[in-house]
Every structure is written in C-alpha cells, then in structure tokens.
C-alpha cells in the first residue's frame, strides 16, 4: 500500500510547525525585547476579541442553564445548579469558547497580516533595516496571545456565570451574592489551576499557528487568504487536542 499523499503532507506540516515553534523558543527569552510592539499587540488582541468573547460567554451561560435546569429539577438537584454551572463554565466552556473565538478572530488576522507582509516584501524590508522580523513580528504576537488568552477566559467565565445567574434568579429566588457564594465555594484549586494553565497553551497554539501560516505563506494574494483560513482550521484542531491532553494530565495530578 502506498503511503497516502495527504497523510505525508500532514506529517510534513506538523514537522514544519514544530520547527517554527522551536525557533520561537530559541529567541523568545532573549534580548532585545520588542516591548513596544508587544504592548501594542496585547492591546490589539485583547481589545479585538473582548466584545465577542463577552457576548458568547454570556449567551453560553444563559443557554447552558436553560438546557440543564429541567433535568436537575427532575432529579431534585436544582440546588446544585450554581455548582454544576460554575464547574463546567470554569473548567471547560469558558476556556474552550474563548480559545475558539480567538482562533477565528486573532488566528486569522495574524495569518492574514503576516501573510500580506510577506507577499509585499515588508518582512524583507524589516530584515534589511536591522530588525529581526521573527522577533519583531512573531515573538511579540505569540507572547501577546499567551498573555491575553487567560484574561479573556476570565472575562468569559465571569460574564457566563452572570448570564447563568440571571436565569437562576428568574426561575428560583437566589440572590446575586448567594449565587456567587455557591459557585466559588464549590470551585477548588483542582478546577481553577489546570483550567488557567491550559489557557496559556491555547494562547500559544493560536499565536504560533497564525504566525506560522502567515510567515511561511506562498507568494501571491491568494496565499494570504489561504494563510488566514488554514490558520483558523489548524489552530482549532490543535485546541481540541491540547484540551484533551490538558484534561488527562490534570486528571493524573489532581485526581478529580
């Protein structure tokens, strides 16, 4: 049987991406730090996705509560609602929704931006004016994504829980204070730490894939669209894989 071409391409791509990530780690901690560009990118990445992340988190909070509540009522477990929503929001839905939205929004825009910079020789122009474009463009964007994803996840969690509270208070008679008390008393470190740690990895995956696709995109404007598109697809796939690994690892360490 012949080795399928698409599978071959797949492994080649994985290899190239790993090499690109390796290149990132080689220079990620060394001087000079392009701190101005880093701050600008943090602002862009955080600000661009904030609204979308908040709205999606809010709706997920509403929907999740509406969907789960009837079953909980049936089992007479409605008192566990805040706990149940709190855990699923913080552990899984918040991080994942945020990461997927960012993959679509940030991943594609980084892919398109670097792709068009590559095609129009802006990256070459940076190189000849005494700048390491890999550090200036890639390292800053990846760091910005790593730093911003946890913050955005925090927003999604908070807004999602607020959405859930709105439903709970309209159906039952729980006060805002009571509700949050329930939620936080049920959350333990084993919920919060792994969930936060994995958002750093999500940020890294989104940043590195977007940069890789853009930075290595082919000549021509068609290459730019392709870079943006495949950045989203690859990043999303990678997010699920990372999520799976993170949950397994957390399971070992925290014995949930």
If binding is defined by CB under 8 A, does position 216 make contact with other proteins? no
Quick one: 97 or 144, whose CB is closer to other proteins? 144
If binding is defined by CB under 8 A, does position 222 make contact with other proteins? no
Count, residues in the chain: 256
If binding is defined by CB under 8 A, does position 125 make contact with other proteins? yes
| Least gap, CB of 204 to other proteins (angstroms) | 23
Label residue 189 exposed, middle or buried (CB < 10 Å: 0-12, 13-18, 19+): exposed
Quick one: 35 or 129, whose CB is closer to other proteins? 129
Contacts of 215 (CB under 8 A, 6+ apart): 20, 114, 118, 123, 134, 137, 138
Query: If we measure between CA atoms, which residue out of 179, 178, 52, 32 comes closest to residue 108?
Result: 52
If binding is defined by CB under 8 A, does position 127 make contact with other proteins? yes
Quick one: 6 or 129, whose CB is closer to other proteins? 129
Query: If we measure between CA atoms, which residue out of 25, 82, 250, 49 comes closest to residue 151?
Result: 49
CA 213 to CA 221: how far, in whole Å? 14
If binding is defined by CB under 8 A, does position 113 make contact with other proteins? yes
If binding is defined by CB under 8 A, does position 132 make contact with other proteins? yes
Q: Which stretch binds other proteins (CB under 8 A): 83-91, 127-135, 174-182, 247-255?
A: 127-135
Q: Among residues 126, 151, 187, 192, which is the contact residue for other proteins, using CB under 8 A? A: 126
């Amino acid at each position: 049987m012949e080795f399928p071409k698409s599978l071959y391409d797949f492994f080649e791509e994985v290899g190239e991406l790993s090499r690109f990530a390796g290149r990132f780690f080689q220079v990620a901690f060394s001087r000079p730090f392009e701190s101005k560009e880093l701050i600008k990118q943090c602002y862009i990445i955080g600000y661009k996705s904030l609204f979308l992340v908040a709205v999606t988190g809010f709706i997920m909070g509403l929907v999740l509560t509406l969907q789960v509540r009837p079953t909980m009522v049936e089992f007479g477990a409605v008192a566990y609602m805040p706990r149940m929503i709190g855990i699923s929001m913080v552990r899984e839905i918040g991080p994942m929704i945020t990461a997927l939205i960012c993959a679509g929004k940030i991943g594609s825009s980084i892919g398109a931006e670097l792709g068009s910079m590559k095609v129009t020789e802006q990256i070459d122009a940076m190189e000849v004016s005494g700048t390491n474009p890999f550090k200036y463009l890639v390292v800053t964007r990846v760091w910005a994504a790593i730093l911003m994803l946890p913050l955005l996840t925090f927003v999604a969690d908070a807004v999602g829980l607020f959405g859930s509270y709105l439903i709970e208070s309209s159906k039952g008679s729980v006060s805002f204070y009571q509700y949050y008390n329930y939620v936080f008393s049920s959350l333990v470190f084993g919920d919060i730490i792994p969930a936060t740690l994995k958002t750093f990895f999500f940020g890294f995956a989104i940043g590195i894939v977007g940069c890789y696709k853009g930075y290595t995109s082919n000549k021509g404007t068609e290459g730019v669209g392709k870079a943006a598109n495949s950045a989203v697809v690859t990043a999303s796939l990678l997010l699920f894989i990372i999520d799976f690994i993170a949950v397994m690892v957390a399971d070992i360490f925290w014995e949930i």
